[in-house]
């Protein structure tokens, strides 16, 4: 099998970017990635872009827009969408397309402008990630769905609100030094527990925010990496993706996300790695409970012990989880997050070597994409 | 390079399906394709689905929904979107993924439910395929954009409204025997020219309709085709995709679609075929002028001679173009059309052998996907 590496990364600041448009942030992320790779735009042969919903800005066909604005025509472009996992899906499609032998260098990106609402409200738009007909139309929001999962996890395993709060506390602490993060200030457990309840047991500070942002990476086959004389390639060691029930009421359990378990198994098997081998993990903490579910479902601890894992600070000592701030503090532009996670893994590996894992979830877990990257595919 | 074949096809009736939901039509198309292939659902390893806009129904994450409803979990799924070329992009992604060596059997599908509007109007939603900021916000519709192209083609090449009308007349005639078509009645040139003007020079009967529908195909590698003992595989001989300027005002010419020219070149080169070798072509007649542009840009005649090509009935005598009714008479569920075109090519080849080409356009031409299929890849 061929080897594929990330050779360039770029992103915008994440936040409420009132003065920026969807095209403007997409363009910036792409240009930064091209500059970081040290290549010319004309060397890029295809573009995949994650973007969750045209309901935010009214703009579909974003992949063609991004190629056009970046002067990348006439390369083929595709927008990939699996809700909040759209960007990781774009990354994986770029990977598969490079493996196909049809391309040597591809840009994978993600972008979402959530503050410019053309149509429905943000919560209505986001419910498009769940079962609009059987969940959304009855009024549930995503905070509500994850609150059900949190409550059940507390019931089955004794997980506490303090443990969930510690997820947010840790992520805010980690974001302080992240120049791209939306929230660069520390918070305390009391801050979380005293913040307004959004959907019990989840407080405001258990929830990731509404965010604008874009992120892009350049990916290349091993032959292209050599030809371009790239000095710091970060290799894809394993990639997995899986689907699960869209609606919560169809699942056998609310305390695990099957798609994560299956996608992680694929990625571990392909890379011949175990959870113990992972140095850095970017996990999908759209709500604090989901970081705990991820820690368990990715195999970093046993099912039910995720809360304790956080409480014992193993998210810093045994493995670095969301070491740049996670969705909670960096922000969560839904269609861009998956590539932002890859970028943070790449930056960690460039700085300190080792192996990183990114887990990106769509909806309440109907999609999960897991990618494992490392500084050396031969290890 | 590996060879890949279409081994099963299925679709719903196209039309105003008021009694059906997006999930219902997606499910029907998928099951029919599985039945037609004679395989079990559990043999499918991935699902790609084209769908243009969540603004129609509020439902994003359709690929996960479709997998869930069809019992295909936990296979990976991706929704592919490049406006009205979304389904052909899904087909091409399935093709590339099969070439990658990671899968043997994949379902590619497309679905759109345009009559159930949750959010904005149909025309506003469809403008998401163009440049929402610089075209849509000034009030232009897609009929308006194609009217500009038609008017310029008339000016430069003497193309007539009668020639454009003949496109619709021919497509309606061809749809009479198509059980899946929205409009199964013949029309005359006078009918077209006497129908209301939508955007001069385009009359109502120059325009494809608003349609609900879904279509799906099963694709397999050569190894899987042999293992499954498929008797009537239809092989992908060539595939191309390209992008062009999103907004009309950025283009050097309104009388050609660059993305078609580039995508066709790729598909012809890969298949080692010329326009003369094509027996059947499904082209993107969202408006009658676009069939004329396609005939020229795909190389079936010289630039500017498309109107005459139609008038001389070469669309029936030299090559069969839109022989089942085209977008005009079959209907145009935007995210499904690309797969419907592939299905009609497959049906033609299964019945009579030969070589077929499908051309699917996104927006006013910012994306084009061209696929060439045949009964034998060794010819």
ipTM: 0.97
More confident residue, B155 or A55: B155
Q: Chain A within 8 Å of B118 (Cβ-Cβ)?
A: yes
% of residues, chain A, pLDDT over 90: 95
> Which residues of A fall within a CB distance of 8 Å from B263?
76
- On the CB side of B199, CA atoms within 13 Å amount to 17
Q: Chain A within 8 Å of B148 (Cβ-Cβ)?
A: no
Question: What is the number of CB-based contacts under 8 A between chain A and chain B?
Answer: 224
| B74: preceding bond cis by omega (within 30 degrees) | yes
Mean pLDDT, chain B, integer: 97
The domains of chain B, with CATH numbers, are 4-120+210-234 (3.40.47.10), 131-208+238-374 (3.40.47.10)
Residues contacting A314, CB < 8 A, separation 6+: A300, A301
DSSP state of B120: S
pLDDT score for A379: 58
Residue A119: pLDDT band with limits 50, 70, 90: low
Question: Does the structure show a pLDDT above 90 at A281?
Answer: yes
Of A21, A96, A240, the CB nearest to B100: A96
Of A53, A118, A241, the CB nearest to B54: A53
pLDDT score for B121: 84
pLDDT in tens, A69-95: 999 999 999 999 999 999 999 999 999
Task: Spell out the alpha helix ranges (H) of A38-137.
Answer: 62-69, 86-99, 122-126
pLDDT score for B379: 58
| Pairing label, strands B367-374, B234-243 | antiparallel
Residue position matching structure tokens 């003992």: B229
Task: Spell out the alpha helix ranges (H) of chain B.
Answer: 22-37, 62-69, 86-99, 122-126, 142-157, 161-175, 189-194, 222-227, 258-271, 288-297, 306-311, 314-317, 326-330, 337-352
Residue B240, SS3 per DSSP: strand
Q: What are the catalytic residues of B? A: 84, 332
Q: How far is B95 from chain A (nearest CA, A)?
A: 9
pLDDT score for A104: 98
* Portion 92-111 of A in contact with B at CB < 8 A: 92-93, 96-97, 99-102
pLDDT less than 50: residues of chain B: none
Q: Do B64 and A246 touch (CB under 8 A)?
A: yes
* Portion 28-67 of B in contact with A at CB < 8 A: 47, 52-55, 57-61, 63-65, 67
pLDDT score for B126: 93
* Portion 201-260 of B in contact with A at CB < 8 A: 240-247, 250, 258-259
> Which residues of A fall within a CB distance of 8 Å from B260?
none
Residue A377: pLDDT band with limits 50, 70, 90: confident
pLDDT score for A1: 80
Q: Which residue in A1, A70, A74, A130 has the most chain B C-beta atoms within 10 A of its own C-beta, making it the best mutation to test that interface?
A: A74
pLDDT in tens, A39-53: 999 999 999 999 999
Of A68, A96, A247, the CB nearest to B245: A68
Q: Do B102 and A82 touch (CB under 8 A)?
A: no
Q: How far is A89 from chain B (nearest CA, A)?
A: 7
Are B2 and B99 within 8 A, CB to CB? yes
Are B283 and B322 within 8 A, CB to CB? yes
pLDDT in tens, A154-179: 999 999 999 999 999 999 999 999 99
Residues contacting A253, CB < 8 A, separation 6+: none
- Which residue from B minimizes the CA distance to A56? B55
Of B73, B83, B263, the CB nearest to A60: B83
Residues contacting B24, CB < 8 A, separation 6+: none
Question: Does the structure show a pLDDT above 90 at A206?
Answer: yes
pLDDT in tens, A252-280: 999 999 999 999 999 999 999 999 999 99
Q: Do A74 and B130 touch (CB under 8 A)?
A: no
Q: Chain A within 8 Å of B24 (Cβ-Cβ)?
A: no
pLDDT score for A159: 98
Tokens of B157: 């090449």
């Amino acid at each position: 099998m061929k080897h594929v590496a990330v050779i360039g990364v770029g992103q915008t600041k994440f936040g409420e970017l009132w003065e920026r448009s969807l095209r403007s942030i997409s363009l910036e992320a792409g240009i930064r990635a091209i500059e970081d790779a040290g290549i010319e735009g004309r060397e890029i042969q295809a573009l995949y872009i994650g973007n969750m919903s045209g309901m935010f800005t009214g703009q579909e066909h974003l992949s063609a827009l991004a190629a056009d604005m970046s002067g990348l025509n006439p390369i083929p472009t595709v927008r990939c969408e699996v809700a909040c996992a759209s960007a990781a899906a774009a990354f994986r499609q770029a990977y598969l397309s490079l493996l196909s032998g049809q391309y040597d260098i591809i840009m994978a990106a993600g972008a979402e402008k959530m503050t410019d609402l053309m149509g429905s409200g943000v919560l209505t738009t986001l419910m498009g990630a769940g079962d609009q007909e059987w969940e959304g139309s009855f009024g549930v929001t995503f905070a509500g769905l994850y609150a059900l999962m949190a409550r059940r996890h507390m019931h089955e395993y004794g997980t506490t609100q303090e443990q969930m709060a510690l997820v947010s506390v840790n992520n805010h602490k980690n974001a302080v030094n992240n120049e791209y993060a939306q929230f660069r200030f520390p918070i305390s457990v009391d801050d979380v527990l005293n913040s307004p309840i959004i959907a019990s047991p989840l407080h405001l500070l258990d929830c990731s925010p509404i965010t604008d942002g874009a992120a892009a990476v350049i990916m290349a086959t091993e032959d292209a990496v050599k030809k371009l004389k790239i000095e710091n390639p970060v290799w894809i060691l394993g990639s997995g993706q899986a689907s699960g029930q869209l609606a919560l009421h169809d699942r056998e359990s609310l305390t695990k996300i099957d798609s994560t378990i299956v996608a992680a198994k694929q990625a571990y098997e392909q890379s011949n790695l175990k959870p113990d081998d992972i140095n850095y993990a970017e996990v999908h903490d759209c709500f604090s409970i989901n970081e705990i579910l991820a820690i368990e479902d990715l195999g970093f601890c046993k099912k039910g012990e995720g809360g304790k894992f956080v409480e014992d600070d193993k998210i810093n000592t045994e493995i670095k989880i969301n070491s740049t701030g996670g969705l909670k503090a960096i922000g969560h532009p839904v269609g861009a997050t998956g590539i932002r996670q890859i970028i943070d893994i790449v930056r960690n590996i460039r700085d300190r070597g080792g192996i990183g894992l990114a887990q990106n979830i769509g909806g309440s877990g109907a999609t999960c994409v897991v990618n494992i990257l490392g500084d050396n595919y031969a290890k």
